[in-house]
Homo-oligomer: A and B are copies of this chain.
Amino acid sequence: MTLSGKLTGNIVIIEKRAIEELYNTSFYGRPRGDMLEVSLTESAYLMYIGKITVEFEGKELDFKQFFLKASHALKNFELLYIVYKDLRERGYYIQPAVTGFRVYPRGGHPGKTPAEFFVFVTSERSPLLLSELKTHLDTVENLKKRLVLAIVDEESDLTYYEVKRIVPSGSWKLKQDKQLSTASLLEDRVMVWDDETSAVLHKEGFFGKPMDQGHLQLSLVESCYLLNRGVLEIQRNRETLNFDEFSGIACNIESDFMIKYTVYEKLRDSGLVPKTGFKFGTHFRVYGDFESLASMSHSDYLVHAVEQEHVFSLQQLSRAVRLANSVRKEMIYGDGTGFFVIGRVRL
């Protein structure tokens, strides 16, 4: 028999019987005294599946009336409903949380097991602050749960992404510890003129790209790293540049040079070999195991450097993750303080 609830503010209060029939069996709502309190999202779903009717000021509401009311009362109600329905229909027990849902592992439920995922619901259109994402990650990781973003696109299709911190590391080491030669900063790249240095840098560290026999072109981040490690001297118009001078020039060429460099240095210092990711639309493609040039295979990660104040466009994030996955790589964002891997997850 259909249970009857009353819409009161932003919740629906259902008669006592609901505790047994809805909560104890299927974990809808939360018991309060001898009544069951049910959120707007849960109520819409319970109406849809015919478990409850809802009245407001003495009049029964139909689904459309309830939906319009809820949509008015609760920000993102439609999104929350879409995600709630999807997760329920996949057989998960879920409970409302501040900006989304707590989702229990398969076979688990409230009172038996802790929640496994924290699902943060957002629209494709909402910009996502990196700082906000990090706050969510902190909260969720403190509770030893996993963070999932549920992104609803304009046609109400859903994509789930899992976000994790990661500490990437590899086996590469810089062997040179003294200055090898003097290179020239040209317009927006650096040229090593010396045969031997060109060969050593390319072979042992996969630095640069051989332009001709004996000439190696280095990117700005590569040159800056080698300058900073004392392996290269770099001149422009016969003047030797120190780290600050070089990076100052580089910042004029690329406005995001410093954050790119910071992330590049962290990757190299963690034993990884980053090369440009231009063809993938990211800052770097990164090789995890670098033994020698000859034994190299495909890169493992795509890494994009972002400022700590970065605001993700979810459309761009979606494109980056999709592209990375289509070439079997992980999509990683680095902000100089840490790295985050973002990947699609099938719940």
B155 in contact with A209 (CB, 8 Å) = yes
The docked-state distance in angstroms from the alpha carbon of A32 to that of B85 is 77
Encode contact with B along A234-246: 1 for CB under 8 Å, 0 otherwise: 0000000000000
| A151 partner residues in chain B, CB cutoff 8 A | 278
Q: A48-B212, A125-B253, A282-B319 are in contact. Are A154 and B220 (CB under 8 A)?
A: yes
A78 in contact with B189 (CB, 8 Å) = yes
Question: Which of chain B's residues has its CB closest to A67's CB?
Answer: B191
Number of identical protomers:
2
The docked-state distance in angstroms from the alpha carbon of A320 to that of B282 is 11
Encode contact with B along A56-78: 1 for CB under 8 Å, 0 otherwise: 00000001100110010001111
Range of interface residues on chain A? 35 or more
Q: A68-B184, A155-B209, A186-B78 are in contact. Are A278 and B124 (CB under 8 A)?
A: yes
| A279 partner residues in chain B, CB cutoff 8 A | 153, 157, 159, 318, 322
A156 in contact with B278 (CB, 8 Å) = no
The docked-state distance in angstroms from the alpha carbon of A184 to that of B275 is 51
| A75 partner residues in chain B, CB cutoff 8 A | 187
A169 within 8 A of B: no
The 7 tightest CB contacts between A and B, nearest first, are: A281-B319, A153-B278, A154-B219, A326-B326, A156-B217, A155-B276, A71-B186
22 contacts between A and B (CB under 8 A): A63-B215, A64-B184, A67-B186, A71-B187, A77-B187, A78-B186, A78-B217, A123-B188, A124-B278, A154-B188, A154-B189, A154-B220, A155-B209, A155-B222, A156-B189, A157-B276, A278-B315, A278-B318, A280-B318, A281-B320, A281-B323, A316-B316
Task: Apart from A71-B186, A75-B187, A159-B279, list 16 A-B contacts with CB within 8 A.
Answer: A64-B184, A76-B187, A78-B191, A78-B217, A154-B219, A154-B220, A154-B276, A155-B217, A157-B278, A278-B318, A279-B318, A279-B322, A281-B319, A319-B323, A323-B323, A326-B327
